[in-house]
Amino acid sequence: MSAAREHRILAIDPHSRGFGYAVLEGTDRLVDWGLKAARHHPNAQSLARILDLIAIYRPDTIAIEDHSAKSSRRRERVKKLLNEVAALCRENKIAVRRVSRGRVQKIFSLCGKLTDHDLAIALTTRFPELAIDLPPKRKPWMSPNPRMSIFGAVALALARANARTKARR
């Protein structure tokens, strides 16, 4: 007889050419992660790919960024996508949890603010399997690497899992 599976979280972190995702069970098991491209009709294609991920992983919760928080700097297209993801979750009876960037910073930062790259390095320490996806540190004149959205998704999933663990105590 197999043990019951732990709470599964699918986290979505949009970027300009699609989105990064991470699937986390409990607080310690990273099931899957990656990027999904959505170039021509980014919101429609992203929603279709998110539905595919829901069908594959059957998450209990979907974690997305809280774009209404002060720390959010999302464009209108991404804000609309995040709202559409929340509506999709309601339609499919999946809990959706919005996590602010400030909450993520608070969980991972012991002293001061972390850059996105610092956060990615911290996440590769916890999940060494992510190291292959770690892009080089970005120079000020460079555009953000889309692979950083993988780390954003993992951070969202962990922030949600930690909040859930604290709530059960």
Amino acid present at 144: P
pTM: 0.90
Q: Are strands 18-25 and 29-37 parallel, antiparallel or unpaired?
A: antiparallel
Domains and CATH numbers, the chain: 8-164 (3.30.420.10)
pLDDT of residue 4: 60
Count of CB atoms within 10 A of residue 92's CB?
A: 13
**Per-residue model confidence as pLDDT tens digits over 28-69:** 899 999 999 988 898 999 999 999 999 999 999 999 998 887
Show Cβ contacts of residue 59 under 8 Å, excluding neighbours closer than 6 positions.
8, 9, 10, 23, 53, 94
What percent of the chain lies above the pLDDT cut of 90?
62
pLDDT at 1 over 60: no
Residue 165: its H or E element? helix 148-168
Q: Where is pLDDT greater, at 23 or 164?
A: 23
Pick the more confident residue, 168 or 153: 153
Write the burial class of residue 13 (CB in 10 Å: 0-12 exposed, 13-18 middle, 19+ buried). buried
Q: Token digits for 145?
A: 């690497």
Name residues whose C-beta falls within 8 Å of residue 167's C-beta, 6 or more positions apart in sequence. Answer: none
Closest of 42, 152, 51 to residue 104, by C-alpha: 152
d(CA 49, CA 120): 24
The string of pLDDT tens digits covering residues 76-96 is: 888 899 999 999 999 999 999
pLDDT at 2 over 60: no
Query: What pLDDT, in 10s, does the model give residues 107-135?
Result: 877 656 788 899 999 999 999 999 999 99
User: How high is the mean pLDDT of the chain?
Assistant: 88
Please compute, for residue 31, the number of CA atoms within 13 A of its CA located in the half-sphere on the CB side: 20
